[in-house]
Amino acid sequence: MKILGIESSCDETAAAVVENGRKVLSNIIATSLEEHKLYGGVVPEIASRRHAESISGVVSEALSQANCTVDDIDAIAVTYAPGLIGSLLVGVNFAKGLALASNKPLVPVHHLRGHIASNYIDCELEPEFLCLVVSGGHSHIVSVKDYTEIEVIGKTRDDAAGEALDKAGRAMKLAYPGGVSIDKISKEGNENAFQFSHPKVSDSIYDYSFSGLKTAVINVIHNAEQKAEEIKTADLAASFQRAVVDCLIEKLELASINTGAKKIVIAGGVSANSKLRSEAEKMCKKHGITLSFPQLKYCGDNAAMIASQGYFEYLKGVVADESLNAYATMNIDTTSF
Ligand code: KG4
Ligand code: ZN
């Protein structure tokens, strides 16, 4: 079964054709990232305009590289939540139009479920597993009981891990996105140079909180500026990255022990982080747990992951009609649309 996936929740306009949820026939991504760098973050209005300009060409290219036409497609899967509303609407409306014109089923896909599905691509991974989903907008620990059955175990109370890395990177005057820059520069830094205490969430053992850590790093920079002291950015970046990764791994480890997880999966943009990957490997080895990451090219936003999840949603009978809307926020365990 061939699924055409469409993704436009942030600044990537993407389309892909994936066979049976695991075999990628094409994966096209156009991004407006370079334009946003100027402003140190994604400007929603610019992102929406670029989606509207690119979507038609991106979808045509995805079909052509997969050597097919829309007639060969079994269903059209589209990200409908969560994300920037103006951006999401471009993808949803395009997918609705295409589904209606070609008489194909329309499958709504939750963006974070798509990130989880990036781990099914080119491999045999099957639920059940414990998953850490870490992106620019979300940080969750979830139990994936089945492809479409997800239970939230913990989530961030404030900033997402990627958001904290991006804001810290900005305060360190590193290029956007800060997460990518921090990962790179940390390789030359001493991760023990600065100590950051781990935030506690008093009423939950699995929930995260990153806004305090973000403020702490900004304070270090301001204090040094006021005293005209020089800080080695690589040391500060490495120490901050270590604090974020330690927090992520600590609660993931606790959740895996308490739930008796045999498999752990990491997904979302931050899953590309080299420190997170190596610490997760150590932790899983210690407990004899199997670990999966997406291939680096599927960590960030892409449509192959949406087509993959779309396949499993479609098998479960998830199909929308032309009244489908886009939503800026939506819980990952929501099953209605
Ligand atoms: O999943 P994603 O592409 O978009 C959202 O759904 O938000 O995630 C983007 C986030 C950004 O915060 C970016 O800084 C972070 O992923 N990111 C990284 C790395 N690559 C991307 N963070 C740390 N290390 C990386 N190598
Ligand atoms: Zn994403």
Q: pLDDT, tens digit, for every residue of 300-329?
A: 999 999 999 999 999 999 999 999 999 999
Give per-residue pLDDT as tens, 128-151. Answer: 999 999 999 999 999 999 999 999
Give per-residue pLDDT as tens, 118-128. Answer: 999 999 999 99
Is the pLDDT score of 257 beyond 80?
Answer: yes
Give per-residue pLDDT as tens, 5-17. Answer: 999 999 999 999 9
Collect residues with CB below 5 Å from ion ligand 2.
135, 301
Give per-residue pLDDT as tens, 43-59. Answer: 999 999 999 999 999 99
- Report the predicted TM-score, pTM, of the whole model to 2 decimal places: 0.97
**How sure is the predictor about 157, in pLDDT bands with cuts at 50, 70 and 90?**
very high
User: What pLDDT does 212 receive?
Assistant: 95
* Tokens 């370079």 -> residue: 34
Pick the residue whose CA is nearest to atom 2 on ligand 1.
269
Cβ of 268 closer than 6 Å to ligand 1, yes or no, is yes
User: What's the whole-number mean pLDDT along residues 71-80?
Assistant: 98
Mean confidence (pLDDT) of the chain:
97
User: What pLDDT does 200 receive?
Assistant: 85
Cβ of 119 closer than 6 Å to ligand 1, yes or no, is no
User: What's the whole-number mean pLDDT along residues 151-159?
Assistant: 97
Q: Which atom of ligand 1 is nearest to the CA of 275?
A: 24
Sheet holding 75-81, edge to edge: 23-31, 12-19, 2-7, 75-81, 106-110
User: What pLDDT does 202 receive?
Assistant: 84
Q: Which atom of ligand 1 is nearest to the CA of 163?
A: 12
Query: How much of the chain, in percent, has pLDDT values that exceed 90?
Result: 96
Tell me the two tokens of residue 226. 């006021």
Is the pLDDT score of 167 beyond 90?
Answer: yes
**C-alpha span between 6 and 85 (Å, rounded):** 15
For residues 142 and 256, the answer to whether their CB atoms sit within 8 Å is no
Cβ of 183 closer than 6 Å to ligand 1, yes or no, is yes
Give per-residue pLDDT as tens, 168-207. Answer: 999 999 999 999 999 999 999 999 999 998 888 988 999 9
Q: Which residues of 295-316 are buried (b: 16+ CB within 10 A; e: fewer)?
A: eeebbbbbbbbbbbbbbbbbee
Pairing state of beta strands 75-81 and 23-31? unpaired
**C-alpha span between 5 and 17 (Å, rounded):** 6
> What is the Å distance from ligand 1's center to 212 Cα?
20
> What is the Å distance from ligand 2's center to 135 Cα?
6
Query: How much of the chain, in percent, has pLDDT values that exceed 70?
Result: 100
**How sure is the predictor about 337, in pLDDT bands with cuts at 50, 70 and 90?**
confident
Residue 175 CB neighbour total at 10 angstroms: 13
Cβ of 12 closer than 6 Å to ligand 1, yes or no, is no
Cβ of 108 closer than 6 Å to ligand 1, yes or no, is no
User: What pLDDT does 198 receive?
Assistant: 87
For residues 89 and 96, the answer to whether their CB atoms sit within 8 Å is no
| Element holding 154 (H helix, E strand) | strand 149-155
User: What pLDDT does 199 receive?
Assistant: 86
Dihedral of alpha carbons 301, 306, 312, 317, sign: positive
User: What pLDDT does 335 receive?
Assistant: 79
3-state secondary structure 12-47: EEEEEEEECCCEEEEEEEEECHHHHHCCCCCCHHHH
User: What pLDDT does 77 receive?
Assistant: 98
Give per-residue pLDDT as tens, 262-308. Answer: 999 999 999 999 999 999 999 999 999 999 999 999 999 999 999 99
Cβ of 304 closer than 6 Å to ligand 1, yes or no, is no
Closest residue by Cα to residue 150 from 336, 313, 332, 337? 332
Is the pLDDT score of 336 beyond 80?
Answer: no
Give per-residue pLDDT as tens, 83-107. Answer: 999 999 999 999 999 999 999 999 9
Give Rg (Cα) of the chain. Answer: 20
